[in-house]
Every structure is written in structure tokens, then in C-alpha cells.
Structure 1
Amino acid sequence: MPSRFPAYIRRPAARAAAVMSALILLQASALAKPDQDNGGEPDKVDTENLFGFTEGTDTGKKGEQEALVDMIGRFSKRRDGPGRSGYGSAQPLISYQYDPTDNISIEPGLLFDARDHRNIAGVPDKTFGTFNGGSLELKYQFFKRTDERPFSLALQVEPQYARITPIEGQGADVFSVETRLIADARIVPDKLWGGLNLIYDPQVARLKGSGEVDRSSTLSISGTLMTKVADSLFVGPELRYLRAYDGTYLNRFLGHAMFAGPVLHYQVMEKGFLSLAYATQVFGHDRDPDFVGRAFNLNQFARHAVRVRFGVEF
């Protein structure tokens, strides 16, 4: 019996399923053949939500659960002409995380979208707030940080379905599979941590009404350093470099942008946290002939971005 889902959804979904199957096999292998040298005591700081737009490698202990609210807001794009203009969009995510093992976390979530933009180049005037879709974040941490091995690696895959295009706010069936290779390290014991992400994010959108299919992808790298300034407070800078492409396999380069900004992480209670991050575009380039001479890339990206995360373990 043929699948009811179109090919542009089946192929990314099959790849995500294959990656998760590989992670489960890796975990089963690790359990069957445990490491003989644990490398000393594990790191007491949980880097999973320590950074800003950069993700940490850590997963919880087996059986742990967590409820999270994660909101990313983007602001300011190029105006389309004289008169008042403005662009603001926010994509809140409410999710639940469960850790079936010490090295695997599973996090289903519900997506929402709120936006207000008018007189913006290439973006229709819209003001609304609505439910947007769902996501499933799957993470595998290859090994934990210890005293003798103060670094860690993880792979994170997040299939996502949305009802609204992320920049224009148009109705569509949007399917993406963000994949992150994550590394972090305890650089100075009990003082300084660093994180690095390499991210590939292909996206396919079928616009409602016209049925037009748009394929795009983003390749990016982000890094941060976080310093412990008090028992429960961490601060540091973060850099992100993003490249936008036409096509899901990085087919044609469209433009790039560099973002920089501060990050703050506060341990609200023993099992709760609050993370705040702000990023502004410090330079960018757009290959569109209409904007090629402009200082920033405000076609594929916004000028400013904010991320707020709050979570409680139980």
C-alpha cells in the first residue's frame, strides 16, 4: 500500500529514523561493553542548557524528566519603502524531556508562533499568534566529561513540522530536520566551560493555496565561553556564523551572516534554570542583486535575535 505522505516529507523522516536507530544501537553496545576506566569523577555542571543559542552535550540521568519553555525571538529586517516599518517574530516551544538512559534524551514539544511585521522587503504585512506544530528532539551523548577527560561529544537530531514559514509567516506545510554535532569542554575546573556546535538544517515548505514547494538549507557554526561568576550564575560571549542555501543539500549559496552577543545562565533552584541570550548581526552579505551592496544580510536573517529558556527537572 503506498504511503500517504509526499516524498519530500518521507525522505527526511526516514533519515531521522535511521539516525535514531543508530544511536540506540550505539547505546546498546556501550551497555554491553562498559568502559573499564571512568576517567575520574563526572563534571558537576550540566551543560545541556548552560549556553545560549549553542547547545551543550549533557543528557540527564536515567529516568530523569524535565519540563521546558524555550522562546526564540527575531527582530528588525529591511524596510520596503518610506513610512513606518517593523518586524518581530517569536517562536515559543513548550516541551517535555525524558532520559531513558544516561546517554539518551527524548524531547517532544509543541510549537507556537507570534508575529507583527509591516512594510518589510519580501515579507507580507501580518499580525497574529497561533499554534504552529510539533517537534521531537533526540540526543545521544557519546561519553560524559570527567576529571581526566574534561570534554564531551553528542549528536542531536530534531525533526520538526510547522504550519507557518519562519521568515514570511505564510501558511504552509514545513518539514525540517535540524542536525547538530555538539562538543563542549570544562576548560578551567569549576570556572570556565566552552561549547561548539556544527549545525545542518534542511527545510522543505509547501505553500498552502499555490502548492508551490520551496527547498532551503542552512549550515552554521556557533561557539561560546561561559564563566562561573557566582555559585548559581554563569555569563559569557557567544558567536554564530550562518550560511543560507537554496535547496535542501546546500545547493546554491544565497548569503551569510555573523552574530555576536552575551549569554547569562542562572540556576534558579536546585532543579530549575533560566538562560538568556542576545545576538546581533555584526556583518553579513546577501547575493541578491537588489541587496548585494548592503552592510547586513537582512533577506535570509533578522538583525537581532533573543533566546529565553526556563526549565524544571523532576
Structure 2
Amino acid sequence: MEHVSSRPGSAGTRISPLLSAALLSLGVFGDALPAFAEEERISRPGARPFQGPPLNPIGTAAPVHAEGADTEHIFGFTMGSDIGRVGEIELEMENVAAFGKRDGRYGTLATLNQVKYTVSDRFRIAPGFALGAQRIDGVAGFDDRHHVSFNGATLEFRAKLIERATAPFGLTLHAQPGWNRVDDGSGLRVEQYGAEFAALFDKELVEDRWFAAFNIWYGTGTTRTHATGITAHDSEFALHGAVSYQVKPGLLVGVGTRYLRSYDGGGLDRLVGEAVYVGPTFSYSLTSTLGLSGTWQFQVVGRAVGDSRWLDLDNHERQQAMLRINAHF
């Protein structure tokens, strides 16, 4: 089943795969100018209040760290625990592309558009709708298709349980029910209902420089295919991990990895395949209110049940990429 959200790592397009976090080695860059750091701290959602740069013994401003980062979108497919400031409205467009099967030409694009509203320090709600497109030619098990469609709708809830600034790590719980009328992976007309659930952990390893995140995802759903009338149940379990380094205020780079297990049956009943993806991530603040982030990941290990060939290309793709645009108000 193709899950209801556009994110491979969620139940609605496929909960995506993890875990074997790799370290990204980068050189040490100079600290940002105090004035720029102040502007960025004030404008970035989730940043700690700016207290002014420390003073050296003769009363002049000493060097400061890069600005605090909102961790939600700095890890690619992996999600941080931040949910934004109280009363903040965020518009987000998340585009997920998947490429490559065993044969033929295969490419899909799933776009999730959301309006996120932070109700309180601990809770956020985000309704959304999904669009999709497929270009499939000569792939075994798929109809040839060049297709663009309105796919469905979702409603996301996030509850922050542990605040990273006052505890050893941050923790937010995620739930997202949804409905699809088109299967993201094949373009077939379906009636699909599902939900995804996740625990999102993150930690600031080195103040304003190194960040890490770890996610546990579970998705389940029911799909009825219009052409055949057949109803199927499936589910997925995934682990995500990532590290990210802030090169300068507003620019972070890193690496993410995901481990995905796909099942027949809504309760993780019968394993059908598993895959591990790894790839680079980035996050860049174009302005104080507009951000761009993404990742490009490759399946490096995988196996479909009953198939001795390398990689699981029955249930997953060779490559998955994501580009996200978000604006805060």
C-alpha cells in the first residue's frame, strides 16, 4: 500500500527506512558576527532567546556560537522534535521523488502541502492535501503510466513531551491519519485509509554546531483497488537516524540513514521486504521566514522475501529524494 502522506517515512506514501548513523566530518568554521547572530536568533522559530554576546575582560563583545536551530527540518527525512512558536503559522510544501526499479523506467513524485498551526508550547496541528505524478514505462508488475493527480488529504498532530533545552534530549509524538484516492507508487485508482505514528527524538551534541536525531515510525492502512475490487492491508516499521552540522547561521549539512521493513497485514504480520537508505542532507534559511531543506538517499542494502537478488526493488526504489520549502508567519 502507498501511504497517505507524501513522505517516505510515513504511512501514506511509505514509511521510509534507517539506522546505521554515519558521522560527517567537516572543518571548523569561524563564528558568525554578533549582530548577524542576534538577527538570526530572533527570527528563527525554536531558537533560544538571544541574551547578547558575552563580554571579554575589557568590555568588548567576544565571539559567539552560531544561532540556535529549529531542528524539525534539518535532518532530511528524519524529523526533529521542534514544533515552532506559539501562534506561529507555517506553510510547507514537501516533494518526495522515487526512482528506479529492476527494469524499465520508473519515477514518481508525491507532494504534501500543509498549513501548520502551533496551538501551544506542546501541541501543533497541520491539515494538508497531497498531489502525485508517475512516469512508468516497461516496469514488470506496473502498468505504463504518465499521470498527474490530486491524491488525497491528511491531518497531522504533534505533541511535544520533552523540551530539548531543559532536558538531555527532545521528544515529540507524531500522529497522522489520512485518505488517498490514488496510489502514489503505481498511479492506480484506490480507496485508501491509513495512519502513521512516530516518536521523534533529537539532541544538541555540541551547542549550536552538531545536532542528532532518531525516529521510530509505524504505519498501517487498508487499500481497495477500484479496478479489481480487492482489499489489502499492509503496514511498515522504520527507524531513522541523522546528524547535522551548522556551517554558519542558517546553513546546515549532514547525513541521514533509514531502515524500513514492509509487511502484509496491518499489524506487522508477514515481512515482505526490507531496505536501508543512506544519503546527504541540507537545510538553508533563504530569509528569516523562508527555508529550503532536503536530501537524496540511495538504497545500499535490501532484500525482498523470496528474492535472492541484491536490494529490495519490489517494495522500494533504488533512490529517494526530498525537497521541502517552508514559510513561517
TM-score by length of 1: 0.82
**Secondary structure of residue in 1 paired with 2:164:** coil
Cα RMSD of the aligned pairs, angstroms, is 1.3
Aligned residue number for residue 255 of structure 1: 273
Letter in 1 for 2:172: A
Structure 1 ranges of 4+ moved more than 2 A: 41-44
Provide closer, same or farther for how the CA distance between residues 44 and 229 of structure 1 changes in structure 2, counting only shifts above 3 A: closer
User: What aligned pairs does 1:85-100 form with structure 2 within 5 A after superposition?
Assistant: 85-100=104-119
**Secondary structure of residue in 1 paired with 2:72:** coil
Instruction: Note the C-alpha offset of 1:185.
Output: 0.3
Distance 1:73 1:160 in 2: 20
Instruction: Note the C-alpha offset of 1:166.
Output: 2.7
Aligned residue number for residue 72 of structure 1: 96
User: What aligned pairs does 1:1-314 form with structure 2 within 5 A after superposition?
Assistant: 44-79=68-103, 85-146=104-165, 149-288=167-306, 292-314=307-329
**Secondary structure of residue in 2 paired with 1:63:** coil
Distance 1:152 1:231 in 2: 21
Count matched residues.
Answer: 265
For residues 223-280 of structure 1, give each alpha carbon's deviation from its aligned partner in whole angstroms, at most 9, with x where no partner exists: 0000011222100011100001000100001110000000010011112210010110
Question: Would the aligned equivalents of 1:256 and 1:285 in 2 still touch at CA under 8 Å?
Answer: yes
User: Between the two proteins, what is the percent identity of the paired residues?
Assistant: 30
Higher relative contact order (CA 8 A, sep 6+): 2
Distance 2:173 2:101 in 1: 32
Higher helix share: 1
Letter in 1 for 2:95: M
For residues 185-220 of structure 1, give each alpha carbon's deviation from its aligned partner in whole angstroms, at most 9, with x where no partner exists: 001111100011100011210111322101111101
Question: Would the aligned equivalents of 2:149 and 2:182 in 1 still touch at CA under 8 Å?
Answer: no
Distance 1:161 1:294 in 2: 34
Gap regions ≥5 residues in structure 1 = 1-40, 80-84
Distance 1:180 1:216 in 2: 17
Gap regions ≥5 residues in structure 2 = 1-47, 50-66
For residues 71-128 of structure 1, give each alpha carbon's deviation from its aligned partner in whole angstroms, at most 9, with x where no partner exists: 111010111xxxxx20000001111000111111111111001110011121111111
**Secondary structure of residue in 1 paired with 2:119:** coil
Letter in 2 for 1:100: V
Letter in 1 for 2:87: G
Aligned residue number for residue 11 of structure 1: none
When structure 1 is superposed on structure 2, of 255-264 and 167-176 the one drifting more is: 167-176
Question: Would the aligned equivalents of 1:277 and 1:307 in 2 still touch at CA under 8 Å?
Answer: yes
Instruction: Note the C-alpha offset of 1:145.
Output: 1.6
Question: Would the aligned equivalents of 2:151 and 2:184 in 1 still touch at CA under 8 Å?
Answer: no
Question: Would the aligned equivalents of 1:123 and 1:167 in 2 still touch at CA under 8 Å?
Answer: no
Distance 2:249 2:89 in 1: 24
For residues 165-188 of structure 1, give each alpha carbon's deviation from its aligned partner in whole angstroms, at most 9, with x where no partner exists: 232221101111011111000011
TM-score by length of 2: 0.78
Question: Would the aligned equivalents of 1:150 and 1:187 in 2 still touch at CA under 8 Å?
Answer: no
